[in-house]
Structure 1
Amino acid sequence: MNAPFKDILTHTEAGVMTITLNRLERKNAITSAMYGAMADALAAAQTDAAIRVVVLQGHETIFSAGNDIGDFLNKPPAGMDSPVFRFLHGIAAFSKPLLAAVCGPAVGVGTTMLLHCDLVYAGDNAAFSMPFVNLGLCPEAASSLLVPQMMGYHRAAEALLLGEPFMAEAALEVGLVNRVVSPTEASNLAQSVARKLAAKPITSLVETKRLMKKGQQQLVAQQMAEEGASFGRMLQEPAAKEAFGAFMEKRKPDFSKS
């Protein structure tokens, strides 16, 4: 099946739903409408017994440039039922196997959404970054909890405080991705593994995932809520306004007064 919304495509075959970011002309920058479409697709996959596995992917040249800044400023998240939070809670609570194929830049939420995937396959051109501080903001998607758990505190501090990109091999080393392949192979590998999973007993997959995540599900939800409150407050503060203004005006931000 294909969604009527062209920026997010969904296709289901042999028990595998593939959700594709399809806004190449804007580097797959994610709008509120795109978050809503992905949240809806995940909700449908959760309740449809015929769907056993979900794969998230972009293009072999770009996964996602993160939030669409213009759309984000025009329609900032208004509460926990906003499309972005519906999507983040959807991936965090998704009970079936969730895979990702990531090539090219994966900025902000393009990286943090991967923390909620069970298996991630990266092209060797993948570049991950979480530049929230550089935008006068704080982390989201429970990344302030999950990144230190995954990478250790000092590497997490480097990734989250500096916000600089790290490449696929570094992501492999810290456990963010499972394998690094050529960009033309990443999607095929994710699909191959997804089909392998779809052939296994779904009750066993779901229960194994539940048991692995059981200890931190409540913590993740709490962290998302706290991050969301801080994020919303910081969005209105001088540092974020300067960062976004500089971005829109294509100049270097000046944080000397914030």
Structure 2
Amino acid sequence: MTEHVKVAIEAGVMTITLARPEKKNALNNAMYGVLADSLEQAEADPAVRVVVFQADGDAFTAGNDLADFTAQATGAFSGERHVGRFLKALANATRPLVAAVHGQAVGVGTTMLLHCDLVFTSPDARLTTPFVNLALVPEAASSWLLPARIGHARAYAMFALGEAVDGTTAAAWGLSNAVVPLDELRARARASADQLAKRPLGALTTTKRLMRDAEKIAALMDTEGALFAERLQTAEAREAFMAFAERRPADFSKVA
């Protein structure tokens, strides 16, 4: 468990709050464990009808904690990696998922939104998927889901160039349902969750199953995950993480 993820259940709604604001809610292994446990609990608990993701501080999440990535790249990490459990829980979720997104939403902070059923972004939201910048590849089945949602050209620019999408553009492109003033963001997400909690759960579950190919999504996650793990061991990745730690631009020209 970790104090960096807060979970509350009220009136059929499980609210999951990322609470590591001093690190821009960067997700470490312990946080992924709580996220996975919570989604698994939501599936098993008939009292939970909807799940809401939100975050404290000025960012939704800065993505994966790069200290964890570095540990994996250098072989210093041991134990179970919970990110895979979290991603599979997203793929297989039958409960409606709602997200309130503000500030930075980096990497998994954006790709997880592709698994949410309702997403609300504030104007200051900045959605980025800079995997190539770190010599990595897309994850969370985003290599299929993102271009399917916004088109190949836009998705490629987000993946390969790390281009950011603001909250207003996210709504225009269909990455979110609406752009909402920051001071109204949580209330809007909660109001939508409350509406969903009053709907017949069986009908919601069946509708979601019809709209998503969970088996294909989970299989693609496995493929991406294997390639992601391979990329973490490359000289390109070592250069990317070293450059980040040394606060300098990465130089991939010297990497064979």
Question: Could you say which residue in structure 1 is the equivalent of 2:208?
Answer: 209
Q: Identity over aligned residues, as a percent?
A: 48
Determine the structure 1 residue equivalent to 2:10: 13
* 1:1-258 matched pairs, under 5 angstroms: 5-59=2-56, 61-75=58-72, 82-213=81-212, 216-258=213-255
Distance 1:8 1:72 in 2: 20
Extract structure 1 runs of 4+ deviating beyond 3 A.
75-79
Letter aligned with residue 73 of structure 1: T
The AA in structure 2 aligned to 1:186 is: L
- TM-score scaled to structure 2, two decimals? 0.95
Q: Distance in 1 between matches of 2:99 and 2:133?
A: 26
What code does the residue aligned with 2:46 have?
Answer: A
8 Å CA contact 1:53–1:98 kept in 2: the answer is: yes
Count of residue pairs brought into register by the alignment: 252
Mapped to 2, the partners of 1:23 and 1:75 lie a distance apart of 21
Paired AA for residue 38 in structure 1 = L
Gaps of 5+ in 1: none
| SS of corresponding position for 1:176 | coil
Give distance in 1, aligned partners of 2:46 and 2:245. 44
Deviates more, 1:165-174 or 1:131-140: 165-174
Q: Name the Cα RMSD after superposition.
A: 1.6
The Cα of 1:60 is off from its aligned counterpart by: 5.8
Q: CA deviation at 1:221?
A: 1.6
1:136-157 alpha-carbon deviations (Å, 9 max, x no partner): 0000000100011001111111
Higher deviation after alignment, 136-145 or 57-66 = 57-66
Letter matched to residue 23 of structure 2: R
1:92 partner letter = A
Measured after TM superposition, the shift of residue 47 of structure 1 is 0.5
* Rounded Cα–Cα distance in structure 1 between residues aligned with 2:130 and 2:159: 7
Q: Where in structure 2 are there 5+ consecutive unaligned residues?
A: none
Counterpart contact for 2:21–2:58, Cα < 8 Å:
no
Q: Is the 8 A contact 2:20 2:56 kept in 1?
A: no
